[in-house]
């Protein structure tokens, strides 16, 4: 009888330690997702801070392009106010990226702007920031994937449901792909 009680007690202790290990793993994965989002947020704020100076530099060379600048400013504000709502932030980022492309397209019409040192420096900084955003986004999406898999997998899904862990959204900014020009040989 005491052997049976010892076996039952050992099984209960094993189950408790398994639940604790799974719970701690879920907490670690959740913290990694939050840390990864913080990395994205930092890089995006760096970009948001660079945009007004870039716009002022471009404005000084262009005369009749106020709509482009107003749109970029509006999109920047939408991004800043989106907070941590990931789908809303992704949509705002897509609009901002499109607006920034319009600003850089303006430079093509103003050769003196393309050779301006400030403009070149802003363009380089923005490019560096974009690379950092992409790296942070990949890290966030990888961390999110790990958390979501743990939440969906057995037996961790039992612990996740018991302690109200929820799946996270991926941060995906869909870029508009250019279509390839049609090439015909005669």
In order along its 186 residues, the chain shows pLDDT tens digits of 789 999 999 999 999 999 999 999 999 999 999 999 999 999 999 989 988 888 888 877 776 667 788 888 888 888 888 887 888 888 888 888 888 888 888 777 777 777 778 888 888 898 899 899 999 999 999 999 999 999 999 999 999 999 999 999 999 876 544 444 443 444
In a domain, 62, yes or no: yes
In a domain, 78, yes or no: yes
Count of domains for the chain: 1
The whole domain housing 13 covers: 2-129+146-162
In a domain, 134, yes or no: no
In a domain, 175, yes or no: no
pTM confidence score:
0.77
Q: Is 143 exposed, middle or buried (0-12, 13-18, 19+ CB in 10 A)?
A: buried
């Amino acid at each position: 009888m005491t052997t049976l009680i010892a076996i039952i007690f050992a099984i209960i202790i094993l189950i408790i330690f398994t639940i604790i290990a799974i719970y701690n793993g879920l907490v670690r994965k959740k913290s990694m997702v939050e840390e990864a989002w913080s990395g994205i947020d930092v890089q995006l704020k760096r970009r948001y801070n660079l945009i007004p100076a870039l716009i002022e530099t471009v404005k000084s060379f262009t005369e009749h392009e106020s709509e482009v600048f107003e749109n970029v400013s509006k999109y920047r504000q939408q991004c800043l106010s989106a907070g941590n709502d990931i789908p809303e932030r992704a949509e705002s980022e897509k609009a901002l990226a499109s607006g920034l492309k319009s600003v850089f397209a303006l430079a093509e019409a103003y050769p003196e702007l393309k050779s301006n040192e400030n403009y070149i420096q802003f363009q380089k900084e923005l490019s560096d920031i974009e690379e950092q955003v992409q790296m942070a986004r990949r890290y966030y999406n990888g961390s999110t994937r790990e958390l979501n898999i743990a939440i969906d997998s057995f037996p961790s899904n039992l612990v996740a449901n018991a302690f109200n862990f929820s799946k996270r959204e991926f941060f995906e900014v869909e870029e508009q792909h250019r279509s390839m020009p049609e090439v015909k040989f005669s």
